[in-house]
A = this chain, B = another copy of it.
Amino acid sequence: MDKKSPIKITLTERDESVTITQWVYQTLRSAVMYGEILPGRVLTIRELAGILDVSPMPVREALRQLAAENALEIQGNRRVMVPKMTAMKFNELCEARIAIESHAAARALPYIDNDRLEQLRSLDSMIDQAQEEENLDQISILNQNFHRALYTANPHQVTLPLIESLWLQLGPFMRMATSELEEHYLVDRHNEAMSAIERKDAYALQMAIAADIREGIAFAGTPEMLHTFIENSGH
């Protein structure tokens, strides 16, 4: 019997064309991203291997990869855990997102063609729809897709892996906060971003992206709420 809280991981069917390591990686990545594993929780290779019903080997490789992406943390004792959060670190992650993503957006702008514009418009309207339905999970996923679609317009783009690393680190806490929020209040900044893109106005786009990120944080909860989750995540 585990003394620690039992881990409940959402399992998906494994595609035969994908290696076991890749499947384990994606599964654990989602689990971390969606806060299914509490920060501070110690992960052992054998335990995860048992839960996922695979041998320890693919788990080892997936854990090392996630640690390299800063999604997990390897302590001096060689134990792996989901990193704990502090209010200051949370703030640093948000500011880093703004700095890097507004840069990536500006660098992508000149490459946005009609196809890409159409794709962004489509995502934008899907987000509007998800907001009416108040489907928080869907909003979160579509929002990521929107940002990704924007940045990857730049064919020589090199920052997306770095951005995804930041998303991974923020993920658990965004989720923990939003899941407790009944009333949420969200101004859609994507419309502003779309307008800036159509006008090819790099500065306005950067402002819209920055505002979107900031309000995504505010959407996640007030600083006090966040503080509560962060403090409680330790024990």
Measured CB to CB, the residues of A under 8 A from B are 60-61, 64-65, 67-70, 86, 88-89, 91-93, 95-96, 99-100, 103, 107, 154-159, 161-162, 165-166, 169
Contact = CB atoms under 8 A, between A and B. Distances in A.
A161 B165 contact: yes
A187 B67 CA distance: 38
A162 B159 CA distance: 9
B158 A89 contact: yes
Contact of A92 (B68, B69, B107, B166): B107
A9 to B, nearest CB: 21
17 contacts: A64-B64, A65-B65, A68-B68, A68-B69, A88-B155, A89-B156, A92-B154, A92-B156, A92-B159, A95-B103, A96-B158, A96-B159, A96-B162, A99-B100, A99-B103, A161-B165, A162-B166
Given A65-B67, A92-B157, 7 more contacts: A64-B64, A88-B155, A89-B158, A93-B158, A99-B99, A99-B103, A162-B162
B89 A96 contact: no
A179 to B, nearest CB: 24
Nearest to A102: B99
Contacts of A91: 156
A176 B50 CA distance: 47
Nearest to A19: B78
Contacts of A154: 92
Nearest to A99: B103
